[in-house]
Structure 1
Amino acid sequence: MNHSWYLDSGCSRHMTGEKRLFSKLTLKEGGSVGFGGNQKGKIIGTSTVGNSSLSINDVWLVDGLKHNLLSISQFCDNGYVVVFNKESCIVSKQSDNTIVFKGMRKNNVYKINLSDLNEQKVVCLLTLSEEKWIWHKRLGHANWRLISKLSKLDLVRGLPKIKYHSNTLCGSCQKGKITKSSFKPKNIVSTSRPLELLHIDLFGPVNTASINGKKYGLVIVDDYSRWTWVKFLRTKDEAYDEFSIFCKQIQNEKGYTILKVRSDHGGEFENEPFENFCEKYGILHEFSSPRTPQQNGVVERKNRTLQEMARTMMHETNVAKFLWAEAVNTACYVQNRIYIRSKLNKTAYELFKGRKPDISYFHQFGCTCYILNNKVHLKKFDARGYKGIFIGYSERSKAYILYISETYTVEETMHVKFDDKEPDRVSELVEGFSKFQV
């Protein structure tokens, strides 16, 4: 639609004589417009000129009119300020003085093409036709993408063939459909070394207490490497003591200081002892927004993956539920060595330890194993080994952690043989739990 429109200060309304410019015409009987030379033109109708992407509302169709006219008085009535100068006519908003569009002077008249309005990204004259909004409401405030698809693919009858899209908000839609803002993943690594930022969170209580009577898990994730630690607690109140001890140990081990800690507003983290500890050691304690766990998404996701992996391993070998802490610990141990840090394309182990991990010694959680009995004096024909269940890896020594169902004890040893192919369905563990003393 590249027709010229003249900016006319003597014209009472926007008007044109070309019927084909209207997207939809409402006929109007009566009324006329006076031209120069005492001539008059009859008003035939009124509606919107243009199409779905480029339109001017409230335009009269006048019989016999040879030019397309934009009314300066109509702009002023709608809250715009119009200023003429030697080179152009400037239309701006009265509210904030922002320029809406410019019409350029050609000889002794000011005019503009609608294609020029499109290039100037004019909002006031490039609004969607009112018919779009009517159909938006008729269809129960369905989203524009759905309405556009219905029209484009001709899936219904009676829907006008126009482009259904809008950058303007529908107030009713916002009241009825507004949702939480999405949190897109970062395209950069925001930390440059281990312990620069730690994410912490708590999960629990677990219905069944662990072997050592623990019901909660404190998950700590290093932002740079994604190396993870899990500390098991009897109550939430132990979170401060466990974290303060952990901070001192890990800083001595790595030779780095912890700069920031990020958590939610849980009472186990937002309390006076925790704040005093952070203030004493110069640690900045950041919080995620209330009821917005996505802002602490690193540890929230880790929390979920640890529990999912532990749950899967436990159901695979049908171990007793009181071994959940050992399953979570094993999941953490495995993930630290196989998790690939996005953007850096290295495992958490390599980023935190400085070398590639060796996983050749891994075994299936809950599998049957046979342990060398070197604790008691054996007679010549006594059994030299006894049966157990593999439940994890030791973090402090080069050893495996095994559960002995006959004695209801946990043992760490390297003298063990594994049977990964035939995992023991240890129903006796359930019976043994009642006899096990926490």
Structure 2
Amino acid sequence: MTGNNALFYNFFHTFGKAVKTADGSLCKIEGHGTVVLNELIALKNVHFVPNLACNLISVSKLSIDLHCSVIFNDLDYTLQALNSKKMISKASLQNGLYILLTSPKTEISKSFTALGKVDTVMLRHFCLGHPSFQYLAKLFLALFINKKLNFFSCKVFSLAKHTKSSYFPSTYKPSYPFALIHSDIWSPSWVKNADNCKWFITFINDHNKITWTYLLKDKSETAGVFAQFYNMVLTQFGSKIQLFKSDNGSEFFARSIGEFFKEKGIVQLSSFVGTPQQNGIAERKNKHLFQVTRSLLFTTNVPKYLWGGSLINCHIFNQPDA
């Protein structure tokens, strides 16, 4: 028990509890928490009693919590760990009471202790196989006194988790809508929709990420669907497509769509083989569309062949961006 709330490492308020002192009077308990005395002693469930003039520690509870033995002498007693036999702390006899010795309180010792704790935390982190610092804080509470978890970082573990270099984002930003279109075809569904379509293709406006989706019965329809999309953009928005970016799928390099690109003056861009990240905008959009389509099917409990009807209603995704 303690009457000094400044000693608590963490504190929780308590209501309706009291403790009886030696003279038989009741003292109100206003909270409890953890008090850290040094790097080896952290007292849990310490009661905060405002009327208490001194700090009291139960020797039996101390020995159980710390898993240590208490050796009494005529002038002091020693706390010794049962497993390692290491001395944890000492208490000296003063005016008939044992005063537990804690860490020095000078500013110089505090600064060196803080540096020592940082080194100790990182040493424990290395020896235990680089666990998270949140986990270490639960195991070694005393090492994280007055330290924020985001203060610690491990560059070695970040490097060990690294699998590949990240792709740099494109620096090209179109100045007006439809200057750059991203496109990708989703792989065939094992369930055909009501119109016997197994694929879908997306056209994404890079300027604002608005998306148009078309269902395909076969990949050979790619050229015709893009021509339909091109005419819609030209008629409804009065804009012309300048750049068309996709992966290196054969459907995007067929003679029919290549001739259309030449006729309209569209520059075709494609990703390298085995690098879908270069077409990441369209890849992520297709994944998002597929996930939300499945969610709609699961929610409405309709037959799977109706997936096409859920997919083409992509206006529900365009509204937040618009």
The higher-RCO structure (CA 8 Å, 6+ apart) is 2
TM-score of the aligned structures, taking structure 2 as reference length: 0.50
Larger relative helix fraction: 2
Larger Rg, first or second structure (1 or 2): 1
